[in-house]
């Protein structure tokens, strides 16, 4: 066949397919909607996955950008950040990188005319901007002198958003002085729109030299920040990791006291930004792919039914000379027209779905993630539509592939369905049921994971608890002409924690209030190594470390953290010289099992002649401070707050809904001093719920997919049973005429459908066992005896029964005389 002849046949087949669909609007609508759900969902998820590709990161050659993260070998390797001396050594020794830059994020208080606000800030090395390949829109970024730890300078670079919001897009902003944490900073420049740093939350940038006081920056054991680096052209991440492993070994030998067990992890920037999200998206892509397969099986079943109506036509075509290949071309073309129409509607579904995924997701998506319908997504959709068209078109062709034509003509004359069609359609229904079961079980597992996370006891009572963070500025201090600090003595804060506690406690609806440098689940806890009297020395792997919290005496009561033994702090102990400490249960269980821990002593750091021992006065229950699913088992140690912190967190127990007192609490704090910045105000219940945001996102989308699969599968079962009733109209009419009871006819139809549903449930149930094992091991913590499978099987059995019942009841209402006359 010539190419021209092939195109002529194609044009003829397309016209025939369009006319055929016009004659069967019900069939066309059902098939197009089924395909639109499957193709549209696949397109939406693919668009988000495509947006997470490395090339989409808006920096120069993003595939060469790496995170360098300091690690510590303990029971497991933990990320711990690095120290400034280590960073300088990495930068001097590493040859696989073009450049390295230290960075870390903090919140700083920006003073304003009306009120202060907390601003996301990145402390960055001078090479940070050039390393990323970004340039300022106005002014300049930092130079080497401004990043000198020996003489840190107070200069700042603004984001475009902050410049427009707080400075009215003033083109003369360079050189202007702003107040950050009570200190004057001079503006050097403004970055281009959309740039918010690698942390995706920065509104301004400060030289890394101001990250900590010079004496702290000189300490090799003081760690916490991360490094970003750009690989040299042609260098791989594996090669860079090997070099840094060697450097870590050299530093460990040179500085065993501080660097024993310390390593360096090299991780791609794209992995740090999108890694956890990609895993969830891959799961969802697999789920929606199953929905598409179910949709294709549904449409294939409909096409087989239509081909049975047309079997005399098709048999005659073959008999008069149409080859099998020509028949395949015709059927695939007809199915492709159908899938192309489904894809067109699916693009509309995808557009709406993408918007919902971005706006309604409980997970905070990176700001640089901008999924949409572009050329790449359109190409993917087109490819999916063509593959679906081929697969769907093969189903009706296969039933004629090895069929005996004379037998087909005889079956056509009798009006019965051939055994090949029956087996093929039944197999498709069984496959649909099995796949739908897998999706239902998957959605059930995700829902169960959310429920299990929500059921975890955090160690405190989150109900009726409001959390509020404030930044208390200090009295302005004199500065030198060049913008450097004149006095090393920190000024006094404008308000004390005691004043704020008294004002908040007086707010109507407040039952009790506690103060701390942090509250559970706010991500602000800091850790320190400690020593216990009578124990040691320790290795780097088992050296005790704890999360340290500075709290007021009523902190435990406000959070309702149970006291196990002893007492909490007295108000008289809120002084810098206090020697009391409260520990969590894990400290007591590790060092004083079976003993009374009250009166035992510990200290922070190593034991030396000048050590200040702290006496344990109380033991409280363990709290899940960092996360509900807490992998770090380091305990918590509490010290009395001495009103020395500028950053304060309040835990406020209320007798009314916590959100209802938020405005009054804000007003009470501002009444003390209007310059106090108030931020991160949230009910503790919201913080607890946010711990399962990723699982809730996955379960939400999976539930939608599972519901779509259930709907499609019910249509498939209904279609098969309804067609079977239509094909057996004459048989049913004869049976009713001979005295068969309607319930016997109904029972026979339901049993016939139950066989298909039972086979699908059996296969899907076995597949769900493997799914449950995989999901439990990789994404959600669910037991192998999770009830999701049983619920899915029962739900599907009910839906399948309903899908069989409707055509069965219709069969019982047949008039035998009219049925025989019609036949």
Domain count of the fold of the chain: 2
| Tokens encoding 454 | 């929500």
**What is the percent of the chain with per-residue pLDDT over 70, rounded to a whole number?**
84
Q: How far apart are CA 7 and CA 725, in angstroms?
A: 40
pLDDT averaged over every residue in the chain = 83
DSSP 544: -
- Provide the pLDDT confidence category of residue 330 given band limits of 50, 70 and 90: confident
Which band of pLDDT confidence, cut at 50, 70 and 90, is reported for residue 479? very low
| Assigned domain for 11 exists | no
pLDDT for the residue 431: 83
* Region for residue 130 given its phi and psi (left: phi exceeds 0; alpha: psi -120 to 50; beta: otherwise): alpha
Give the domain range for residue 121: 66-268
Q: Which residues contact 680 (CB under 8 A, 6 or more apart)?
A: 118, 467, 468, 469, 522
Residue 34 lies in a domain: no
Q: How far apart are CA 216 and CA 772, in angstroms?
A: 49
Asked whether residue 184 is domain-assigned, the answer is: yes
- Specify the pairing of strand 155-158 against strand 183-191: parallel
Residue 112 lies in a domain: yes
The residue from 628, 662, 690 where one domain ends is 690
Most confident range (mean pLDDT) of 104-118, 211-225, 232-246, 758-772 is 232-246
State yes or no: cis peptide before 537, omega within 30 of 0.
yes
Q: Could you tell me where the DSSP H helices lie in 479-566?
A: 497-505, 555-559
For residue 282, tell me if it sits in a domain.
no
Cβ proximity of 67 and 228 under 8 Å? yes
Rounded average pLDDT over 695-703: 80
- Final residue of a domain: which of 628, 658, 690? 690
Mean pLDDT of 420-439: 77
| pLDDT tens column, 774-823 | 665 555 455 555 565 677 677 777 877 887 887 777 777 766 666 555 55
Joined together, the tokens standing for residue 419 give 């055994």
Query: Could you tell me if residue 74 is inside a domain?
Result: yes
Residue 485 has pLDDT above 60, yes or no: no
Kind plus residue range of the DSSP H or E element containing 563:
strand 563-566
In a domain, 233, yes or no: yes
Q: Specify the pLDDT at position 517.
A: 92
Instruction: Specify the pLDDT at position 703.
Output: 82
Which residue has 């190593």 as its token pair? 606
Q: What is the mean pLDDT of residues 230-240?
A: 95
pLDDT of residue 468: 96
Instruction: Give the Å distances, CA to CA, from 747 to 25, 426, 430.
Output: 32, 19, 20
Mean pLDDT across the stretch 75-89? 88
Residue 477 pLDDT > 60: no
- Give 677 or 482, the one with higher predicted confidence: 677
pLDDT digits (tens, 9 = 90+) for 527-571: 888 999 988 777 766 788 899 999 999 999 999 999 999 999 999
CB atoms within 10 A of CB 368: 17
Q: Comparing C-alpha atoms, which of 303, 337, 330, 394 is closest to residue 8? A: 330
Q: Is the pLDDT of residue 115 over 80?
A: no
With a CB cutoff of 8 Å and minimum separation 6, the contacts of 656 are 464, 509
Q: Tell me the CB-side half-sphere exposure of residue 769, using CA atoms within 13 A.
A: 5
Check residue 481 and give its pLDDT.
Answer: 36
680 inside domain: yes
Q: Which of 2-11, 295-304, 582-591 has the highest mean pLDDT?
A: 582-591
User: Residue 177: is its pLDDT beyond 50?
Assistant: yes
pLDDT at 478: 39
**Whole-angstrom distance, CA of residue 555 vs CA of residue 516:** 7
Q: Residue 99 in 3-state DSSP?
A: strand
Task: Identify which of 91, 93, 109 has the alpha carbon closest to the alpha carbon of residue 101.
Answer: 91
- The predicted pLDDT at position 254 comes to 94
Least confident of 69-73, 112-116, 461-465: 112-116
pLDDT-based confidence at residue 309 (cuts at 50, 70, 90) = low
Domain boundary among 238, 268, 298: 268
- Nearest of 142, 270, 125 to residue 200 by alpha carbon: 270
Q: Are 33 and 345 in contact (CB under 8 A)?
A: yes
């Amino acid at each position: 066949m010539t190419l021209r002849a092939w195109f002529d046949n194609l044009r003829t087949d397309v016209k025939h397919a369009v006319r055929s669909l016009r004659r069967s609007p019900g069939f066309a609508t059902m098939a197009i909607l089924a395909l639109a759900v499957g193709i549209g969902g696949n397109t939406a998820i693919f668009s988000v996955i495509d947006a997470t590709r490395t090339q989409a990161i808006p920096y120069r050659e993003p595939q060469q950008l790496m995170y360098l993260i300091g690690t510590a070998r303990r029971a497991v390797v933990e990320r711990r950040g690095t120290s400034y001396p280590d960073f300088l050594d990495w930068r001097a020794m590493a040859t696989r990188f073009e450049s390295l830059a230290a960075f870390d994020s903090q919140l700083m208080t920006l003073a304003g005319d009306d009120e202060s606000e907390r601003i996301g800030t990145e402390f960055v090395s001078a090479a940070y901007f050039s390393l990323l390949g970004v340039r300022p829109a106005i002014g300049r970024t930092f130079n080497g002198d401004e990043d000198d730890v020996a003489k840190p300078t107070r200069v700042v670079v603004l984001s475009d958003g902050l410049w427009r919001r707080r400075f009215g897009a003033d083109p003369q902003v360079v050189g202007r002085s702003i107040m950050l944490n009570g200190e004057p900073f001079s503006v050097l420049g403004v970055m281009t729109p959309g740039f918010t740093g690698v942390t995706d939350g920065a509104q301004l940038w400060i030289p890394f030299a101001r990250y900590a006081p010079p004496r702290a920056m000189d300490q090799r054991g003081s760690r916490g920040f991360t490094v970003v680096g750009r690989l040299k052209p042609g260098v791989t991440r594996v090669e860079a990791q090997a070099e840094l492993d060697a450097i870590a070994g050299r530093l460990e030998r040179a500085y065993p006291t501080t660097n024993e067990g310390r390593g360096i992890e090299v991780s791609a920037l794209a992995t740090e930004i999108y890694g956890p999200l990609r895993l969830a998206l891959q799961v969802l892509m697999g789920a929606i792919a199953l929905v598409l397969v179910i949709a294709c099986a549904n449409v294939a079943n409909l096409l087989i039914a239509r081909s049975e109506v047309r079997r005399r036509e098709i048999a005659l075509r073959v008999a008069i000379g149409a080859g099998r290949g020509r028949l395949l071309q015709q059927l695939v073309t007809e199915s492709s027209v159908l899938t192309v129409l489904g894809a067109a509607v699916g693009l509309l579904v995808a557009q709406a779905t993408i918007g919902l995924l971005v706006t309604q997701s409980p997970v905070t998506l990176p700001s640089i993630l901008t999924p949409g319908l572009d050329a790449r997504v359109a190409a993917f959709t087109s490819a999916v539509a063509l593959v679906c068209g081929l697969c769907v078109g093969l189903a009706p062709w296969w039933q004629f592939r090895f069929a005996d034509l004379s037998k087909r003509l005889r079956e056509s004359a009798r009006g019965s369905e051939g055994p090949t069609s029956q087996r093929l359609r039944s197999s498709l229904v069984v496959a649909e049921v099995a796949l739908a079961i897998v999706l239902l079980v998957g959605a059930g597992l995700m829902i169960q994971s959310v429920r299990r996370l929500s059921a975890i006891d955090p160690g405190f009572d989150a109900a009726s608890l409001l959390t509020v963070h404030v930044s208390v500025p200090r009295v302005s201090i004199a500065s030198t002409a060049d913008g450097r600090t004149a006095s090393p003595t920190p000024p006094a804060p404008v308000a004390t924690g005691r004043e704020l506690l008294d004002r908040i406690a007086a707010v109507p609806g407040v039952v009790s209030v506690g103060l701390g440098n942090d509250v559970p689940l706010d991500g602000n806890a800091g850790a320190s190594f400690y020593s216990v009297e009578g124990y040691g020395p320790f290795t780097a792997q088992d050296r005790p470390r704890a999360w340290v919290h500075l709290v007021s005496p009523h902190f435990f009561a406000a959070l309702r953290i149970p006291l196990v033994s002893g007492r909490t702090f007295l108000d008289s102990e809120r002084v810098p010289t206090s020697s009391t400490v409260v520990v969590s249960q894990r400290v007591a269980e590790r060092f004083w099992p079976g003993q009374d821990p009250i009166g035992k002593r510990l200290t922070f750091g190593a034991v030396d002649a000048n050590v200040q021992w702290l006496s344990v006065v109380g033991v409280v229950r363990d709290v899940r401070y960092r996360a509900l699913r807490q992998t770090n088992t380091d305990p918590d140690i509490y010290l009395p707050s001495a009103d020395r912190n500028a950053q304060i967190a309040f835990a406020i127990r209320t007798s009314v809904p916590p959100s209802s007192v938020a405005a009054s609490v804000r007003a009470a704090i501002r009444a003390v001093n209007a310059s106090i910045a108030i931020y991160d105000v949230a009910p503790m219940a919201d913080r607890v719920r946010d711990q399962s945001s990723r699982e809730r996102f996955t379960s939400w989308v999976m539930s939608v997919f599972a519901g779509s699969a259930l709907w499609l599968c019910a249509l498939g079962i209904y279609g098969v049973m309804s067609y079977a009733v239509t094909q057996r109209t004459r048989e049913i009419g004869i049976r009713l005429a001979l005295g068969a009871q309607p319930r016997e006819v109904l029972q026979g139809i339901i049993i016939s459908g139950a066989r298909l549903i039972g086979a699908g449930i059996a296969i899907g149930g076995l597949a769900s066992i493997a799914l449950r094992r995989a999901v439990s091991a990789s994404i959600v913590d669910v037991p192998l005896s999770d009830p999701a499978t049983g619920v899915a099987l029962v739900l599907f059995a009910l839906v399948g029964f309903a899908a069989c019942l409707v055509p069965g009841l219709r069969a019982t209402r047949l008039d035998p005389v009219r049925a025989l006359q019609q036949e």
